[in-house]
Structure 1
Amino acid sequence: MKLSAVQKVKEITSRDFLINYMKPCRPLILENFVDKESPAFKKWNYEYFKKTAGKTKVSIYGGELESIDRAASKPIGETTFSEYLDLITSTPTEHRLFLFNLLSIKPEMKDDILYNDVTKGKILKWLPFMFFGGEGSITRNHIDIDMSHVFITQFQGIKRIWLFPWEQSDLMYKLPYNFHSLTNIKNPDYKEYPALRYLNGYEAVIKPGETLYIPSGWWHYIQYETEGYSVSIRALPSSWLEKWRGFKNLVVTRHFDNIMRNIFGDKWFNYKVKKAHRKAQRAIAKIKV
């Protein structure tokens, strides 16, 4: 597996970004995608969040390797948002929040973020998502089901993100009819998963104020180097192929997989594992030709 550093820029024109990064789907770290004068950088902190929504019940998620057969892992517990923030600031923990969006609970907080929009209006400013995690927590290697372009801005802490293009899905042992990888790429077992040796991706380390652009359909494996939180916004897929993939994933693929899993159980999962290995072997053979 080979990882190259993602390029970082302080300033970039919309024309340069759209032509040289968004259209060809190349990742980039933007240092000024969110305006540094945004109220969020002055107002937001854990104490502010506790006062804002500290009593809200949240579901806690842990490691995901044990639920590799599912599109999403199940929560391991429930607590208040305030208690969760106390946890991640007091000790390293793999616990993270999934599908808890403070910005939907307190929509007025969306106005605290001012964007320097290099996409010329493609980003969906009205649909931000917020993510929290403890030091050492991870989000397993996956592609986003809707195939959107994603802009992740770090506000607290440091994240390390590995990125791989859609074209390397077979080398990744992508589970058929799912949107995540069969393997643990952090500690790869090259004997069991030899195709991982041929991966050629990128590594991005983002700090507060920095934004990582993840192109449509790209794999991303997110690691919390420290506790922290980030905000992501999306831009709809650009090409008709990406739009079709996103539509098919949302409307057809995930529902088909759920039906087959309910009917056949482990047999369906084992079939998908075997198919992922076959496709990986074919991908290796193509590289060696």
Structure 2
Amino acid sequence: MKLVQVHKAEKINSETFINSYMKPRLPIILKDFVHPESPALKKWDYDYFKKIAGDQKVNIYGAELESLDKVASKPIAQTTFSEYLDLIDSTPTENRLFLFNLLNLKPELKSDILYNDVTNGKILKWLPFMFFGGQGSATRNHIDIDMSHVFITQFRGIKRIWLFPWEQSDLMYKLPYNFHSLPNIKEPDYRRYPALLYLDGYEAVLHPGETLYIPSGWWHYIQYETEGYSVSVRALPFSILEKWRDSRT
């Protein structure tokens, strides 16, 4: 398996982004996709979240290594949002939140994010997703079933993301009728999964304020180097080829 670092850039105009990255489907880290004057970058923190939604019940998910051969992971516990934030802020833990979207629970928070939309209006700004995880947590290597283009912005902490193009799907040992891969890609067993030796991918290390563009159909494995949270927005597939790939997942 080979990984090269994703290029970082800022002040890219729409024409350059669409023609050089979106259409050819190449990842890039954008340093100013979220405007630096966005209120979210200044007022959002754990104390603020606990104040506005601390009593909300949340499902806790554990290490995904235990469910690599399963269609979906099951929650391991339930607690309050406030207690979960205290946990990840105080100690490394593989515990993370899944399908808890604070931006849907408190939709007024969406206006705290100002975007430099380099897609000429293709971004679904009204449909953001929010993700929380403890230091050491990770998500399984997967593709997004809707084949959207994804822009994931780190707001707190550091994430390390490995990316692989859709064309390498035959090397991934995909779980049948699903969109996850079976191997532990962080510590691959090359004897059991020899095709992993031939993977050529990218590595992106995201810091607060930076946004990773994940092209439609690309595999991605997300690791929390520290505790933290991020927000993603999507742009729907717009080419016939991308939609055809969607029908094959």
Distance in 2 (CA, whole Å) between partners of 1:55 and 1:175 is 37
Q: Deviations over 1:156-213 (max 9, x none)?
A: 0000000000011111111221101010010011111111110000000000000000
Would you say the 8 A contact 1:23–1:238 is kept in 2? Answer: no
Task: Tell me how far 1:128 sits from its aligned partner.
Answer: 0.2
User: Within 5 Å, which residues of 2 pair with 1:118-157?
Assistant: 118-157=118-157
Distance in 1 (CA, whole Å) between partners of 2:71 and 2:33 is 31
Task: Tell me how far 1:245 sits from its aligned partner.
Answer: 3.6
1:116 aligns with 2:127: no
Distance in 1 (CA, whole Å) between partners of 2:32 and 2:138 is 26
Distance in 2 (CA, whole Å) between partners of 1:113 and 1:239 is 28
SS at match of 1:169: helix
Distance in 1 (CA, whole Å) between partners of 2:93 and 2:67 is 18
Distance in 1 (CA, whole Å) between partners of 2:231 and 2:136 is 19
Counterpart residue identity of residue 155, structure 1: F
Would you say the 8 A contact 2:171–2:199 is kept in 1? Answer: yes
Counterpart residue identity of residue 169, structure 1: S
Distance in 2 (CA, whole Å) between partners of 1:219 and 1:174 is 11
User: Within 5 Å, which residues of 2 pair with 1:54-203?
Assistant: 54-203=54-203
Task: Tell me how far 1:244 sits from its aligned partner.
Answer: 3.6
Distance in 2 (CA, whole Å) between partners of 1:55 and 1:66 is 29
What is the aligned partner in structure 2 of residue 258 from structure 1? none
Task: Tell me how far 1:80 sits from its aligned partner.
Answer: 0.1
Distance in 2 (CA, whole Å) between partners of 1:140 and 1:110 is 27
Distance in 1 (CA, whole Å) between partners of 2:210 and 2:71 is 29
Q: Deviations over 1:242-264 (max 9, x none)?
A: 22443x37xxx7xxxxxxxxxxx
Counterpart residue identity of residue 7, structure 2: Q
Aligned residues: 249
What is the aligned partner in structure 1 of residue 17 from structure 2? 17
Task: Give the TM-score, by structure 2 length.
Answer: 0.98
Counterpart residue identity of residue 103, structure 1: L
Task: Tell me how far 1:64 sits from its aligned partner.
Answer: 1.5
Task: Give the TM-score, by structure 1 length.
Answer: 0.85
Distance in 1 (CA, whole Å) between partners of 2:163 and 2:245 is 19
Distance in 2 (CA, whole Å) between partners of 1:61 and 1:244 is 32
Distance in 1 (CA, whole Å) between partners of 2:181 and 2:242 is 19
Distance in 2 (CA, whole Å) between partners of 1:107 and 1:72 is 27
Task: Tell me how far 1:76 sits from its aligned partner.
Answer: 0.5
1:45 aligns with 2:45: yes
| Structural RMSD (CA) | 1.0
What is the aligned partner in structure 1 of residue 7 from structure 2? 7
Counterpart residue identity of residue 9, structure 1: A
In terms of mean alpha carbon deviation, does 1-10 or 168-177 score higher? 168-177
User: Structure 1: which 5+ runs fail to align?
Assistant: 254-289
**Identity across matched positions, percent:** 78
Distance in 2 (CA, whole Å) between partners of 1:47 and 1:244 is 45
Counterpart residue identity of residue 171, structure 1: L
Distance in 1 (CA, whole Å) between partners of 2:195 and 2:113 is 41
Distance in 1 (CA, whole Å) between partners of 2:42 and 2:118 is 23
What is the aligned partner in structure 1 of residue 217 from structure 2? 217
Structure with more of its chain in helix, by fraction: 1
Would you say the 8 A contact 2:68–2:184 is kept in 1? Answer: no
Distance in 1 (CA, whole Å) between partners of 2:72 and 2:113 is 29
What is the aligned partner in structure 2 of residue 266 from structure 1? none
